Structures are given as structure tokens and as C-alpha cells.
Amino acid sequence: MPTQKITPHLWFDKEAKEAAQFYTSIFDDSKINFISQIHDTPSGDCDIVGFTLLGYDFMAISAGPFFKINPSISFHAKCQTFSEVNKIWDKLSPGGTVMMELGEYPFSKRYGWIQDKYGVSWQVIHTEGDFRQRITPVLMFTGDVCDKAEEAIAFYASVFSGSEASVLARYVKGGEPNKERSVKYARFTLAGQEFGAMDSARMHGFGFNEAISLIVNCNDQKEIDYFWGKLSAVPEAQRCGWIKDRYGVSWQIIPSNMGELMGKNPEKTTPAMLSMKKIIIADLEKAGDK
């Protein structure tokens, strides 16, 4: 069973296992939790990998070259020492692309932003304070949804009970192309997990897509129905538990025991799942019993 309510999911062409092994070799408190495979999907046979980095759970899939990971969702890696920042940066750097050079900034004495060789973006930062969650997903609102960060995080906080959102820094006059008072950095929590958000009016040429999605692990059908109804805003994107919200962020609304349900009788449960838009737990259970 997942330990997080929300789990980031990375879509790779063929590299899910390789990338997971790479990341777990870099970060402390890391491990590969499982490797499995689903067969006869539209993408063929797909590797699925669950792994943990710095105590934070991820999922990944190798499912073809349909979506490309980009920096619209990146991951803060919080470090307590400069040497840890340097170590992680050095290991992520080969074959990667630097987005912000490693150095001293007003918000951190040791920070750098890099897109690694698999396309995943990491903001490696020396920070003080709360280290209960050392990896934080950060959403960058660009293009058509630029200047929507504040609205979006308030919406997400309204969907997940016990959540909160606050803008920590805003752009000031002279910060063009960003509008004055748009979000430079915001923090929000969903189901007790920390996330970050920012607006960026620069011409990045990328935005949210299915390559990085957020899995919501649901306890029962009632929860699936609730999150599906609240978050889904693009009917044509509804497939196999996947949805897109009004800002273009992709989510997967699935039962927390999805692996168990799918593993009971894969020859029957896989086609049943592939035929669904919203996941119906009873139908998956019925397929598994055939």
C-alpha cells in the first residue's frame, strides 16, 4: 500500500527502470520498492517501477515516446549542508542541462536547478527548518496558465481536506516579463504533503502534460468519485483513471490497492482497466475473479 496520499508519477519512453536505479544511487534513504510489468497495452508491455528517494515515494512507467518530461513540474531536494548539495548536483549533472547555475541566491546560500539526462528537473537547495519532507514537487505555471498559480493552489487546497496555501514571495515592479504581484513562490499542503508553485511569464515553450502526473491514492470508490468529480476538467483526457484539471495538470485517481487489484488476474484485469475512464473498483474485482 502507498504511504503517501499523493505520489508523483514519471512517464518515460523505455527508461523507467534505468532512471529509478540512477536516482536511488544518488539520494540517501532511497530504494526501489517494486518492479512489475503490464502486458498488451496500447504501448505494448510496460515496466512499472515504485521507488523512494529521501523517504519520498515515486512511481514511474516505461510506456513509449508519447509524452516528454519538462520542467513545468520540478522537485526541490532539501539539503542540510553545502556538501550534500554539491554531491547531489555533481551526480545529477552528467548529460543534464543547467537551468540555474549552482551558487548563492537571496533565498539560499547554495542552490542550483538542473534538468537531468532523463529530463527530470531538480532544484537542489540548502535550507534550514522542516526536514520531514525532503522532496517537494513544484508546479510552474507558464503560457496560457501563467498568473494562475495563486488561484490554482487555492483550488487544490479546497479539494483536499485539511490543506492550506500561502504565497511566500511575489514579483515586484520591474520584474518583467512577470506581472507585478504574480507568484514568485508559493507553498501549499495537500493531505499533509508539501508542494510549491510559481508563475513564469518567460517564453519557456513547455507546460504541464501527462509526462509528470500526480497519483491520488483513494481508499474506496467514494473517494475516487469525489476526486474525479472535483479535479477532472478535460473530458477527452479521461482514460484509465487519468484526468486533467482546469490548469492542465494531469492526475491519476486510483484505488490505493491498485497493484493488488491488477495483479490478481492480469489477463482479465488489464483489459478491464484499459476500457475504463474512471476506475470502478467493483468491476476490477469482478474481472479479477473470472
- Pick out the chain residues at pLDDT < 50: none
Pull the grid cell for residue 197.
Answer: 508553485
Quote the pLDDT of residue 41: 83
pLDDT in the model for residue 2? 62
* CATH class in words for 73-199: alpha beta
Domain boundaries, the chain: 6-68+209-289, 73-199
pLDDT digits (tens, 9 = 90+) for 13-44: 999 999 999 999 999 999 999 999 888 887 88
Strands (E), the chain: 6-12, 31-41, 44-53, 56-62, 73-79, 97-105, 108-115, 121-126, 135-141, 164-170, 183-190, 193-199, 212-218, 242-244, 250-255
Report which residue type is found at 160. Answer: F
The CATH class for the domain spanning 6-68+209-289 reads alpha beta
Angle at Cα 47 formed by Cα 42 and Cα 49, nearest 5°? 135
Q: Per-residue pLDDT tens for 84-100?
A: 999 999 999 999 999 99
Residues 187-199 as b or e (16 or more Cβ within 10 Å = b): bbbbeebbbbbbb
